[in-house]
Chain A
């Protein structure tokens, strides 16, 4: 078992290119392996310090949560809670 590297080699490739052009890494420039392989595009990766990046936008959603974030370990991976309606009676009202 190995810990996920967050595709450091892909980040570094983009990092070097960005450094050569003297700019930040653009949103979407780094595509992690899991992200590329995901058929439903459920995985997003990017710069959470850039508020306009798609990953920062998703992270600011009220559905976003992290695992054991209350321990102040500042986890890198956030999840989006699934939207479900456990009460079928309400489904009719919304339509």
Chain B
């Protein structure tokens, strides 16, 4: 029976000879004693430089307006919206791994859920930048909030922008709560093992007075269950909402009822890919091979393949329904995606998202970490290209030929994409350095289960 389906703690989820003490010591040492070398510093420097680019870009955008991007009629949505959808989609994978696998009692989530949740929080935070900067006057973004103001301005509930705002705020709140609550017992472990008083105070404040009493554990378990139950439906509702941003428009290629499930599958797909892209280097550099094992990576690869097949089915449905509808505009957009000026984005998407993952059918590829890393990276690129393809090819040539036009990215379009990657990397590197990257108490549970099983 494969480990994905098995519910008993499989020994392969943890290297042999692990005890409560070794698990706790190894993971807490990463935050407390480890000296981060030049790779971490180099990564941090690059991330910081890209962040600065984002800060300068934002300043320039506030000064000059969204015209610094290549957007103009008819293509008024491009890189910023692609980045938004891409980042929020990446976030979905993390919540799904920690929430849905928690509800399904899958043990293999134990050592990857923490960094997957961190990835979610950071990705959603980064995604939230883009809809706000994409407003014509970003400094009035708080008008999106339905607060009782003297001007009687009330949000336009029919606007997808308003839905975006509520989706991001709800999702960010729940994912931060879920991430933080799950970390409290581990923060207390770090507090108790802290070498200096300052460090103990830092983790002590974050641990909120956790003492590990049975009463506290009971409440903790209840809260974790409730938050997981809240987070998992949000994965589906939030990304369905993102899809409705497009479906509610009448533009051919967007006006489609298949978009919500199709987008959710795409979001999970890119999220799993990001978990692999972050996890493979992290386990190597932090020496986490005993905890994030080949089984974890192989399971992630299987889930990636499954999500990818659903996405591929979505592409087929899109093409089929265009031909089935016989609507000349739908047909034109579908054919233009394959043959028009941006055809390379369509074929690039197919190559990265549909063809590359077929290698994952092979167990040898699933055990080869370099191959997994490359495939996951291709999926991330492919999912970004897919968003670009969906957005731009529908807009650049619509019903009225007199208003057709091309879109070309400017330097600032690329700078904001690079800057968002930098911001994400910066937050993730700080997370790796300061917080427990693997859930210590869940590993202890896994050790316990293994002991019970072997006796």
Contacts and interface: CB of A to CB of B under 8 A. Distances in A.
Interface of A: 67-68, 71, 73
Contacts of B399: 68, 71
A71 B327 CA distance: 12
B400 interface: yes
B104 interface: no
B333 to A, nearest CB: 14
Contacts of A68: 399-400
A73 B249 CA distance: 11
B397 to A, nearest CB: 15
Nearest to B399: A68
A68 to B, nearest CB: 6
Interface in B235-271: 250
A71 B251 CA distance: 10
Contacts of B250: 71, 73
6 contacts: A67-B400, A68-B399, A68-B400, A71-B250, A71-B399, A73-B250
A38 B237 CA distance: 52
Nearest to A68: B399
Interface residues of B, number: 3
Contacts of A73: 250
Across the A-B interface, the 6 shortest Cβ-Cβ residue pairs: A71-B250, A68-B399, A73-B250, A68-B400, A71-B399, A67-B400
A8 B399 CA distance: 29
Interface string B416-438: 00000000000000000000000
Interface in B75-125: none
Nearest to B329: A71
Interface string B394-416: 00000110000000000000000
B328 to A, nearest CB: 11
Contacts of A71: 250, 399
B310 to A, nearest CB: 31
Contacts of A67: 400
A40 B67 CA distance: 39
A71 B250 CA distance: 7
Nearest to A1: B73
Interface in B276-320: none
A77 to B, nearest CB: 14
A14 B399 CA distance: 37
B404 to A, nearest CB: 15
A73 B250 CA distance: 9
Nearest to A70: B399
A89 to B, nearest CB: 32
A70 to B, nearest CB: 9
B354 to A, nearest CB: 32
A49 B83 CA distance: 45
A73 B399 CA distance: 13
B394 to A, nearest CB: 14
A17 B81 CA distance: 46
Contacts of B400: 67-68
A71 B254 CA distance: 14
Nearest to B255: A71
A68 B401 CA distance: 12
A73 B255 CA distance: 14
A31 B399 CA distance: 32
A54 to B, nearest CB: 29
B247 to A, nearest CB: 15
A66 to B, nearest CB: 13
A15 B400 CA distance: 35
A10 B262 CA distance: 48
A86 to B, nearest CB: 22
A47 B250 CA distance: 27
Nearest to A71: B250
A1 B86 CA distance: 31
Interface in B371-400: 399-400
B75 to A, nearest CB: 16
A67 B399 CA distance: 10
A68 B398 CA distance: 11
B256 to A, nearest CB: 15
A45 B87 CA distance: 48
A71 B399 CA distance: 10
A68 B399 CA distance: 8
A34 to B, nearest CB: 21
B93 to A, nearest CB: 36
A68 B251 CA distance: 12
A67 B400 CA distance: 9
A51 B399 CA distance: 31
A68 B250 CA distance: 11
